[in-house]
Structure 1
Amino acid sequence: MSNNGNTVLGILAGTAIGAALGILFAPDKGSSTRQKLSDEALLAKQKIAETAIDLKDRVVSTASTQKQTLDEQVESIVSNASYKADDIITSLENKLKDLKMKNKQLQKDKIA
């Protein structure tokens, strides 16, 4: 994202500088040249503003997408952990049931 922004900014700056130099070296009246420079500066400012808005929108979109992906991953991890916890609890309950049965059997064997 940073390289794209720098590239676009470099292109815009180069275009603005090239246009300004072209106007300065063109044979024309001073007032006309100043007006052209002003117009070109305004145009460059608008292009930079549009580019900045576009980059901001892309960053917001990317951040939103990444947040959504992260939320989905966290939800998946929590869900998997919940299922695993249920499996562990079920296994422990079964072992406890087996131990109770063995204990009952041992108590019956002692009495008999």
Structure 2
Amino acid sequence: METSKKNIALAFLSGALIGSVLGILYAPQKGSKTRHKIKHTSAETARELSEKIKHVKDEIAATAHTKKMEFERSLNSTISNLTDKSHEIIAALEKKLELLKKQ
């Protein structure tokens, strides 16, 4: 769901950028003004894209950290359960051994 929203937002921004550039190119202004607008728009778009990339990287890092912590908790829980079970098995085997020794 999140990826779909991000794709839609990226498509919208891309369309807006393309529309802006085409609008500037076909505007009835002097070439110097048009070049200035293109430069300004390009710089602004690059800044926005850089911010979005940083935001996505931060989200990915946060998600990876969360998943890592969840995995570690799950692993520790599993190891703890296995340790408890192994102690139970050892105790049961020791009882069986004692019974066998008494026979």
- State the distance in 2 between where 1:3 and 1:59 align: 16
2:71 counterpart of 1:67: no
Q: What aligned pairs does 1:1-40 form with structure 2 within 5 A after superposition?
A: 3=4, 6-40=7-41
Of structures 1 and 2, the one with the larger relative CO (CA 8 A, separation 6+) is 1
- State the distance in 1 between where 2:64 and 2:50 align: 21
Q: CA 1:70 to 1:80, structure 2 compared with 1: closer, same or farther past 3 Å?
A: same
* TM-score normalized with structure 2 length: 0.86
Q: Residue 45 of structure 1: CA displacement? A: 0.5
Structure 2 gaps of 5+ residues are none
Q: Supply the AA of the counterpart residue of 2:57.
A: K
Q: What aligned pairs does 1:92-111 form with structure 2 within 5 A after superposition?
A: 92-101=93-102, 103=103
Q: Deviations over 1:47-105 (max 9, x none)?
A: 1111111111111111111111111111111100000000001111111222223x2xx
> Quick check: 9-18 or 78-87, which moved more?
9-18
Q: How many residues align?
A: 102
- State the distance in 2 between where 1:52 and 1:3 align: 16
Considering only aligned residues, what root-mean-square deviation do their CA atoms show, in Å? 1.7
Greater C-alpha radius of gyration: 1
- State the distance in 2 between where 1:25 and 1:9 align: 24
- State the distance in 2 between where 1:35 and 1:74 align: 58
- State the distance in 1 between where 2:89 and 2:99 align: 15
2:77 counterpart of 1:79: no
> Partner of 2:78: helix, strand, or coil?
helix
- State the distance in 1 between where 2:83 and 2:21 align: 65
